[in-house]
Amino acid sequence: MKIPRLTTLVPVVILVLLALFPLIGIPLNWLNYLFSFFIYLALATMWNLLAGYTGLIMLCPHAFVGLAGYTMAIGTWVGVPFQAGLIAGAAVAALFALLISYPVFRMKGIYFAIGTLVLPEALKAWFSFWRPVGTAYQGGGAGYAVAGVAGFTLGDKYWLALAIAAVSIFVVHIILRARLGLGLTAIRDNENTAASSGVNIFRLKLSSFLIAAFIMGIAGAAYYIHNPRIQPTSGFNISWLLLPLMATVIGGEGIEEGPIIGAAIVTFLRFLLADYGAWSLFIQGIILVVVVVVMPQGIAGLLRQVGAYRLPLRLFKAAEAKIHKT
Amino acid sequence: MSETAVLSIDRVSKHFGGIVAVKDMTFEVQAGEVLGLMGPNGAGKTTLLNIIAGTYSPSSGRVHFCGRDITGLPAHKLCHLGIARTYQIPQPFTSLSARQNILVATEYGGKKAAGMEHDKIFDLVNLSEQKDMPARDLATVSLKRLELARALASNPTLILLDEIAAGSTDAELPRILGIIEEIHKMGKTVVLVEHVMKVMVEAVDRIIVIDKGEKIAEGTPGEVMKDEKVIAAYFG
């Protein structure tokens, strides 16, 4: 029998342990926190794919979250079950990404960033008066409840979010080790040289943009299964941008484990500071500034720099050698 | 246009706003030829390379490559068709190793017949010992060699070399001449922009002299150096 490598085994073991949590009766609050963590993790991992590996400072995750959430919510009122709506929402987010790709990819650097930043604002305005189905559910307004999610337990939602986060990490892991990852890194490092080496810049940027939009959409829609009421001000809220951005920058941009560390910190801070309202953002902002100044490559970058992974890796290798001997 | 022409530039002009960088340029490069482009700073040599490589489209005129009209095609398509270029100021993929740098060109360079093995390319440009170093740690001299390696890795028909000898010491020149000779022997067509006279005179079959975007002289190195317009352009 072939013994799997420990570096493969460890993530699988962690995944299985996390999947067991709802079954062993851990406090419901924990499941709630972890649910948020998984959603933020999926968003941050995708934001890192764009900003860290493709060089696209994309500032419209809230467009994808809002569109996917709205698609799913509206769908539940016209007979589409939320499970199908989840996929449909992600598809709509990806379709939106496809539609805007031609104009926004004509802009570079900071212009691309600003070009993407205005889109969710436009969508927010649109969804504030557009009401395709049904009557206002609470005396007017443009919000929608997500119907038919009552039977979906917290455990189910937790597993869904865990699966989305795991898939997002796995997708980036595969991309980085494939031809696509090489091309994306080339684009990030130097667009001109990439083009003259035969890289079709538009097509590669579009690939990572569509993947990110789809997974951000599905993560956003999953959030609205758990919090089954969407409004323009929540779906298209700028915090859907700030969370993955902070998680990625604090954790380490362009580093695979960066968003994992960052998302954990951002989730922790969010619940720790939940009672302090506006102060919460202020404190998070200060932390962001300190991280950028003290560790420009984020926490994961610092860990790599000081060689924090050397000891565990050496232990892994030693253990592996031992297993193979017996 | 003659049948053996790999590259044909037909009345090409390029304006940037009101500034004319290349004006009504016409010339051909034959298969297997090494053509030198010469001219004072700002004459339009690099602009011309950028037009051939697809970084810019010309404001007017046509460019043909192996009989095909390539005017205005994007850079990556031209790479697939068989045009590779080096940059005057090295433009590496800084976070990638030298080996990965040229892997980009072989992976994305198009479905042409397999080119040289990477190790042979590194041997040729004398970069074998540094091939696993990240490009950001390489010295300028090594980066210039990496430019060459990357250009060769996509196995081009036509290779555009933009001042590969600039900044080299006299002792390094024979090596650079040797590399150009090797590329020539592989049957590749070369267009060379160079300020280092020794390289220009020894490596090329023919020289075109450009001044203020216009062709002012054309001929063998010996002929061109005696041309009064060339002397006037350089020494005023």
User: Which residue pairs from A186-189 have beta carbons closer than 8 angstroms and sit at least 24 positions apart in sequence?
Assistant: A186/B93, A186/B96, A186/B104, A186/B108, A187/A54, A187/A55, A188/A52, A188/A53, A188/A54, A188/A55, A188/A254, A188/B95, A189/A55, A189/B92, A189/B93, A189/B94, A189/B95, A189/B96
N-term to C-term CA, chain A: 13
Is A187 near chain B, with CB under 8 Å? no
Tokens of B113: 């017949």
Is B53 near chain A, with CB under 8 Å? yes
Is B57 near chain A, with CB under 8 Å? no
In DSSP notation, B119-184 reads HHHHHHHT-GGGTTSBGGGS-HHHHHHHHHHHHHHT--SEEEEESTTTT--GGGHHHHHHHHHHHH
pLDDT tens track for B128-176: 899 899 999 999 889 999 999 999 999 999 999 999 888 788 888 888 8
Instruction: Please state the ipTM of this predicted complex.
Output: 0.91
A267 assigned to some structural domain? no
Identify the domain containing residue A61 by its residue range.
11-238
Most A CBs within 10 Å, among B49, B76, B158, to test the A interface: B76
A270 assigned to some structural domain? no
pLDDT for the residue A135 = 62
Mark the ranges of chain A whose per-residue pLDDT is less than 50: 1, 138-140
Which member of B55, B94, B104 has the closest CB to residue A199? B104
Dihedral sign computed on CA atoms, order A312, A313, A314, A318: positive
pLDDT tens track for A249-265: 999 999 999 999 999 99
Domains present along chain B, CATH in parentheses: 5-235 (3.40.50.300)
A272 assigned to some structural domain? no
Distance (Å, rounded) from C-alpha A56 to C-alpha B153? 27
Structural domains in chain A (count): 1
Distance (Å, rounded) from C-alpha A155 to C-alpha A30? 11
Q: Are the beta carbons of B4 and B174 closer than 8 angstroms?
A: no
Phi and psi at B211, nearest 5°, equal: -140, 130
Q: What are the pLDDT tens digits along chain B (236 aa)?
A: 566 799 999 999 999 988 999 999 999 999 999 999 998 888 889 999 999 999 999 999 999 999 999 999 999 999 999 999 999 999 999 999 999 999 999 999 876 656 778 889 998 888 989 989 999 999 988 999 999 999 999 999 999 999 988 878 888 888 889 999 999 999 999 999 988 888 888 889 999 999 999 999 899 988 888 888 888 887 76
A276 assigned to some structural domain? no
Tokens of B82: 């068989």
In DSSP notation, A285-319 reads HHHHHHHHHH-TTHHHHHHHHTTTTHHHHHHHHHH
Q: In this complex, do A186 and B94 lie within 8 Å of one another by their Cβ atoms?
A: no
Which member of B85, B93, B100 has the closest CB to residue A190? B93
Is B150 near chain A, with CB under 8 Å? yes
Helix (H, G, I), strand (E, B) or coil at A142: coil
Is B54 near chain A, with CB under 8 Å? yes
Distance (Å, rounded) from C-alpha A42 to C-alpha A26? 23
Residue A297's region, left for phi above 0, alpha for psi from -120 to 50, else beta, is alpha
The number of helices, as runs of H, and strands, as runs of E, in chain A is 15, 2
Q: Which residues of A touch B84 (CB under 8 A)?
A: 196
Q: Which helix (H) or strand (E) holds A37?
A: helix A28-48
Q: In this complex, do A198 and B80 lie within 8 Å of one another by their Cβ atoms?
A: yes
Q: Which residues of B touch A198 (CB under 8 A)?
A: 76, 79-80, 105, 108-110, 154
The CA angle A176-B93-A103, to the nearest 5 degrees, is: 75
Tokens of B171: 């002792």
Nearest-Cα distance to chain A for B33, in Å, is: 22
Q: In this complex, do A190 and B79 lie within 8 Å of one another by their Cβ atoms?
A: no
pLDDT for the residue B200 = 85
pLDDT tens track for B208-226: 999 999 999 899 988 888 8
